[in-house]
Amino acid sequence: MRIRFALSIAALLAAATAAARTPAPPPNHGSAPSISPDGSKIAFLAERDGATDVFLIASDGTGEVRLTRTPEEESQPGWSADGTRIWFTVFADGASRIYSIGPDGADRKLLGTVPGRAMRISPDGRTILYWTGSWTSMKLFASNLDGTDSRQLTDGSGVVWGARWSPDGKRIAFADKDAGGRLQIFLVNADGSGRRQVSRPEPPDLREQMPAWSPDGSKLAVQAAIEKEPSHIWIVDVATGAGRKLAVHSEAFQDEVPAWFPDGQRIAFQSDRTGRMEIWVMNADGTQPRQVTKFAAP
């Protein structure tokens, strides 16, 4: 999902004028992929009827199932460790409700509520990350799913976009601004200690966000771009910060929000290569990108 920044009144007026002249982009047909523990299915978000709902599709692009159909804005799909449940969050009135649902769209259950925008449940299924504050000054918290035992992990002096647990639940990766004001990838321990910058971008003005841990915890797949240029999926080595670009292209389309398959051999991502945002899969070395979800005009 795209990050929306707060705008000044002048900027809002300018944006409104531009919007009157420019057609709105097509709705996301597939975004924010999340891979099942056995790698056979992909949960994702789509804006088919104006609101954002949760969908499920086999990783080969067959058998799409719609799991939710509500006026609410669902977000952050994920999986239980045993692959029998899909969870998602709904934000309203300053709080996030956390739900789980069966892979057939039945048996929707409320797991709990936290006082902020929820992100991800820990690998053991017991703890959720959420943040409070503005888009430019966020405090990251972790709590039980019902909101109890909340603990603050960051001081609110920066941002914590796209925070993700490591596979062992001991570390959290997220995007924050570096000393030069560029988005880069940082790590903290699960208790908030040991903050450090991971990404060492080359070229230096490359901005990185939306980290996704490899199954063995040694690498992060991220979306990265130089300002006003197309975004690509990059692989960042956690130990060294070295990065390499995957599926290189010069066209203006955007490759975003990566997610690893559990075998570490493939990566799912969202891309507007076909004109609207869809789910794609490629090999972990960037070869053989292929489209999974496909828009069909009514």
**What is the structure's pLDDT at 8?**
42
Dihedral sign of CA atoms 7, 212, 32, 164 in order:
negative
pLDDT of 47 higher than 90 = yes
- The mean pLDDT value for 214-223 works out to 98
- DSSP state at residue 27: P
Per-residue pLDDT of 58-108, as tens digits, reads 999 999 999 999 888 899 899 999 999 999 999 999 999 999 999 999 999
- 3-class SS at 9? helix
**What is the structure's pLDDT at 133?**
93
In degrees rounded to 5, what are phi and psi of residue 20?
-65, -25
Half-sphere exposure of 250 (CA within 13 A, CB side): 0
Would you kindly state where each structural domain of the chain is located, as residue ranges? 27-291
Peptide bond into 203 cis (omega under 30): yes
Assigned token pair, 109 = 């259950």
Q: Does 126 or 5 have the greater pLDDT score?
A: 126
pLDDT band at 298 (very low <50, low <70, confident <90, very high): low
pLDDT of 146 higher than 80 = yes
**What is the structure's pLDDT at 296?**
75
**What is the structure's pLDDT at 49?**
85
- DSSP state at residue 62: -
**What is the structure's pLDDT at 202?**
85
- Name residue 12's amino acid: L
Q: What is the mean pLDDT of the chain?
A: 90
Task: Give the CA angle between residues 137, 142, 144 to the nearest 5°.
Answer: 145
Closest CA to 279 of 38, 37, 39, 42: 42
Least confident of 10-14, 69-73, 85-89, 185-189: 10-14
**What is the structure's pLDDT at 38?**
97
Q: What is the rounded CA–CA span in Å between residue 259 and residue 211?
A: 9
**What is the structure's pLDDT at 18?**
44
pLDDT of 129 higher than 90 = yes
* Structural fold of domain 27-291: Neuraminidase (2.120.10)
**What is the structure's pLDDT at 12?**
36
Per-residue pLDDT of 279-294, as tens digits, reads 999 999 999 999 999 9
> Which segments within 93-205 are labelled E, that is strand?
95-101, 109-114, 117-121, 127-134, 137-144, 151-152, 161-165, 171-177, 183-189, 196-197
pLDDT of 155 higher than 50 = yes
Q: What is the rounded CA–CA span in Å between residue 145 and residue 127?
A: 6
